[in-house]
Amino acid sequence: MTTLDQLVRQVRQQLMGFSMNQESVSELSVPMTETDSTFTCDADTVENISRGLVEIDDELILVKGFDSTNGVVTVMGLANGRGYEGTVPAAHAANALVTSSPAFPKARIKEAINLAIQTLYPELVVFSETELAKLAPVIEYELPADCADVWYVTGQVIGPSKVAQPLPNWRFNGKARTANFPSGKSIQLFDYVTPGQAIKVVYTKPPAALTAGTDEFTATGYPERYTDMVVYSACMRLIPALESARLQMQAVESTERGQLVPPMSAAKVMAMYTQLYQQRLAEEREQMYNDTPTYAFFQGS
């Protein structure tokens, strides 16, 4: 199963290529804690670290300078240089890679991945279900708090047939009175079901976010096959940063590359990823309705 860390690597490879990444790197020679204002890199490669922004794991750190004889790197502003740009100061193990001026920081890629996951909804939904027992005098029943909408409802037919028949006449209440329904979600059922029989409600909910690098993609609630869509969508969101880099007035590399790379090149790449994403989204939306058809319809006042 694909993990969040693996998705990050896939997105970086799409954005940077497999062999075109020219980022300078070193590695930690000793572990560092979340409060250290210095850290020690491999003395043989510490000169790859320039003054300014470095990335270790998911954390961005501002570097003041380094000692090439012992590999000790000093953080800008002491602890104030840790957790730069909203990243979280963290402990890092020995041999963790230290990347100078990362083109696409992991923290930003993870944000783009989670945004890509969240914006698949409501075009693609996560399915869940609950069962209710029909009570003779009751029309309205509580639903789980994570229910965003009802997809379909079936009721068990009495007798040995074990048939669950469609119940088309229902109304979802997403703002139910919490005094009666603590979850704030309920369903009103208007079809006849023999009291005591089971009622199955298949409902939809938004996907869950991925937090830890080891979180598997399926923890979102989506199937594994959606991962390529998420990669396309994340690339689509990150690519404009390359076009913005052309506007840099102080970065020599950006100024030089700006003369060689035609304007709007990044926009064209973004359009390509957008097309790939939309094509896959249409395919999966059709597949979703084929796999889980809905035959319920809203009928109310």
CA distances for 13 relative to 19, 20, 112, 119, angstroms: 9, 9, 15, 22
According to the model, what pLDDT value does residue 247 have?
54
Mean pLDDT in consecutive groups of 10 residues from the start of the chain, 301 residues: 96 81 88 96 92 95 94 91 95 96 94 98 97 95 97 91 89 96 97 94 97 97 97 94 62 54 74 96 95 64 38
According to the model, what pLDDT value does residue 22 have?
72
According to the model, what pLDDT value does residue 2 have?
97
Evaluate the CA torsion angle 28, 30, 33, 37 in order and state its sign: negative
**Rounded Cα distance, 68 and 136, in Å:** 81
The alpha carbon of 76 is separated from its chain's Cα centroid by a whole number of angstroms, namely: 31
CB 3 within 8 A of CB 216: yes
- The label of the residue with tokens 């037919």 reads 157
According to the model, what pLDDT value does residue 262 have?
63
CA distances for 183 relative to 134, 187, 206, 228, angstroms: 19, 12, 16, 35
- The domain spans of the chain are 1-21+103-124+210-291, 22-102, 126-205
CB 49 within 8 A of CB 73: yes
The pair of three-digit structure tokens given for residue 241, joined into one six-digit string: 């940063």
Evaluate the CA torsion angle 36, 83, 8, 117 in order and state its sign: positive
**Rounded Cα distance, 209 and 279, in Å:** 23
CA distances for 113 relative to 209, 215, 238, angstroms: 9, 13, 10
Q: Is 297 helix (H, G, I), strand (E, B) or coil?
A: strand
DSSP 158-213: SSTT--EEE--EEEEETT--TTT-TTS-EEEE-S---TT-EEEEEEEEPPPPP-ST
**Of 169, 168, 119, 175, nearest to 149 (Cα)?**
175
Strand partners, 216: 3
Domain covering 22-102 in this structure, CATH number: 2.40.30
- The label of the residue with tokens 């979802």 reads 172
The pair of three-digit structure tokens given for residue 90, joined into one six-digit string: 């963290």
